[in-house]
Amino acid sequence: MKIDEDVYMSNRNIIVIGASAGGFSALRQLVADLPADLNAAIFIVWHISPDVRGVLAQVLGRETKLHAAHAVDGEPINMGRIYVAPPDHHLLVSDGVVRVTRGPKENRFRPAVDPLFRSAAHSYGRRVIGVILTGGMDDGSAGLWTIKQHGGVAIVQDPHEAEVPSMPENAVRAVAVDHVVPLREIATLLTRLTAEKLPDKAGSVIEEDARTKREIDIAMENETFHANILEYGELTPYTCPECKGVLAALKEGGRIRFRCHTGHAYSADSLLASITESIEEGLWSAIRNAQECIMLLNHMGDHFAEVNDPRVAAMYFKKAKEAEIRASIVRKAVLDHELLSADNIREQANK
């Protein structure tokens, strides 16, 4: 699409969209409602397993007259295009070009929503419209907050109609959202916002811009050792579930999130989920080791019984029984263990 430079610079024309569980059908409906002459570039992150073949771009291309494709690192940003994050890659934007990287995971995902939103806000400021759709947990909330800090517009799908409401609900709690609307109304809203001229006023006061740039560099796979992201937060007693590095607490608004010196990032919710998952994995590992110990003890008991050494055999059998008792305690612990998140804690608190 040929771009009128004045319109290009004075309109909101960078649309970034994040979705997770339930996002496949939501994104199909959203792009199907967009006009073919939309004067904006659209960037989409949908959480998907790294070993799944990415078909979202092809499916969206059948739903709209806009050109939809997986983003390619280094390609120029053009209006009337839909750029989709490929599986196992972050999607970012940087001053006129698309970046596709395998930077550290954020909130346990790659692609993650926050890096895209953060990079768009840093490069395009008030021209950015951020959209959070259906999904679990809270990826995108931190990025949407950054968009607002840079003067952009924040849109959230109405949580009451979202297939999985957690991402929209967390975004509404964390950010002064401009619009909370049903999915069927988002395309019309985007069309209106992109057609409006930006008001002649200065953008919001931008805080923590150096830290934002540092975090973008991490996602873009720039050298992280010298980035020293830890200087922007307070060291915590927590370790990164991904690499076991120390985590620093980063505060923004009323939220707190965490990042390690190698680059992995977590919201408080995703960190809690990772830690409780690690506890379960550790307990099952302990049960496996206990069972192996019991089998070995019984095997050795049988061996000494066969060589006519009943006293030693009896002691091996006794130790096997004691190990069985301990294993049953650990098994009960793992069966009683629950995977925690902010959502299920709020749900239990409201019962």
Q: Which residues are catalytic?
A: 20, 47, 139
Nearest-10 crossing angle of helices 141-149, 113-124: 10
**CA-CA distances (angstroms) from residue 324 to 291, 293, 321?**
8, 9, 5
Do the beta carbons of residue 153 and residue 171 sit within 8 Å? no
Do the beta carbons of residue 316 and residue 248 sit within 8 Å? no
Half-sphere exposure of 341 (CA within 13 A, CB side): 16
* DSSP codes of every residue in 245-273: -EEEEEEETTEEEEEETTS-EEEHHHHHH
Locus of tokens 């206990």: 290
Spatial neighbors of 250 by CB under 8 A, at least 6 apart, are 211, 229, 232, 233, 256, 257, 258, 259
CA distance 221 to 172: 30
Q: For residue 85, give the amino acid letter.
A: A
Locus of tokens 């970012």: 92
3-state secondary structure of 157: strand
Locus of tokens 């990164």: 240
CA distance 26 to 81: 18
Half-sphere exposure of 312 (CA within 13 A, CB side): 10
Q: For residue 176, give the amino acid letter.
A: A
Do the beta carbons of residue 67 and residue 57 sit within 8 Å? no
**CA-CA distances (angstroms) from residue 207 to 122, 212, 263?**
11, 9, 21
CA distance 67 to 82: 6
Q: For residue 213, give the amino acid letter.
A: K
Please give the structure tokens belonging to residue 211: 């830290």
